[in-house]
Amino acid sequence: MRKFKILHISDMHLRHNGRLFYSTGKKINNGLILNGHNVLQISDRDITNQTKNIFDIGGKKYLFSRIVRTIENFKPDLILFGHVDRLDNDNFLSLREKYNSIRFSQWFLDPLNIKGPDFIKNKNRFFMKYQFCDSNFITTSPNALDFTDSKKTFFIPNPIDPSIDVLKNFKNNTSHDVFIAISHGQHRGILRKHFTDDRVKIIKSLTKKAKFNIFGYKKNPVWGQKFFDEISKCSMGINLSRGIPIKHYSSDRISSLLGNGLLTFIHENYQYSDFFSNDEIITYKNVSDLNKKILFFKKNNKKLRIIARNGYNKAHRIFNNKLIADFIVKKTFNVQANLNNKWMNG
């Protein structure tokens, strides 16, 4: 496959001063570059944040003109959109009509579960670009949704980047048993007052016989290197996503747990057993089952380390950012992909 010129438009969080250096957009961008493509970035939210004024409320006009000028100068083969919520339908229509020889694609990370949080909002955000894109990549199995075309919508897991996910906790003696992190929006960085969700009920029901390191409940979430410092203190991690489980969806936190060598627990209804055996990841049925398994592995450290190592090795092999970036490009350009990983089939 030849190398492409790719314009990657997504939020790179420059305004957050490194607080989100491990974002999914960063990991996908790294994967594209490592695969040899010529990648140019536009960080949409950073631009609008800096340029909005009384004549351009929200900075949308300047952002759109910046994108057009960049396309004219760079002449990309592919425009890859992240969430890009700062453009509207008319903007995308204009780009599609003016540059119809360029491939358009998007990746979308937020939940698309009809029974999940912010469904209407997320569905509208996704479909804003969907109608103009040649390919779409989501972190929910398209097979679990009834409103997408399986011919142009594909599952991708949350990527692991070996330059970012560098810990190997299964090798270390840790001060805490279990890491849990939840947040109410990464852009805020702090807890919303009086805001709660279904994950809090689970946290309140966890065993008192294990030592937890919990952020986003009572304590503010942690970001930047502090996030990894706190992960490094724990041998196990619980992957908690908002809403009712849906096939293969997870918040991007799962890549931080598996990718840094924690023994990872996830509810069985997410169906991650499609990708990992019970010697690589631990699924649970309910909180009672979760508590029993936490206490079992607390007492069986050798088995904990073996499974955590197996999960780490498997995740770095099948969820790595180079593989995911390659899948995005090949599907978008209709290049035959080697579908030897089950997640590539949805």
- Separation in Å, CA 3 to CA 31, 70, 333: 13, 19, 11
Within 13 A of 24's CA, how many CA atoms are on the CB side?
25
**Exposed e or buried b per residue across 288-311, where buried means at least 16 C-beta atoms within 10 angstroms of its C-beta:** eebbebbeebbeeeeebbebbbbb
Render pLDDT for 107-133 as a digit per residue (tens, 0 to 9). 999 999 888 888 999 999 999 999 999
Q: Give the DSSP per-residue string, 138-168.
A: ESS-GGG-SSS-TTTEEE-PPPB-TTT----
Give the Cα separation of 335 and 78 in Å (integer).
Answer: 14
Position 191 scores a pLDDT of 66
Residue 149 has pLDDT above 80, yes or no: no
Pair 106, 81: CB distance under 8 Å: yes
Domains of the chain (ranges, CATH numbers) = 5-159+320-345 (3.40.50.11010), 169-318 (3.40.50.2000)
- Separation in Å, CA 343 to CA 156, 273, 276, 280, 340: 7, 11, 11, 16, 9
Render pLDDT for 161-189 as a digit per residue (tens, 0 to 9). 999 999 999 999 999 999 999 976 555 56
Tell me the two tokens of residue 203. 């946290």
Closest CA to 248 of 344, 124, 326: 344
Calculate mean pLDDT across residues 133-158. Answer: 92
Give the Cα separation of 201 and 177 in Å (integer).
Answer: 20
Position 57 scores a pLDDT of 84
Residue 136 has pLDDT above 60, yes or no: yes
Q: How sure is the predictor about 229, in pLDDT bands with cuts at 50, 70 and 90?
A: very high
234-238/176-181 β-pairing: parallel
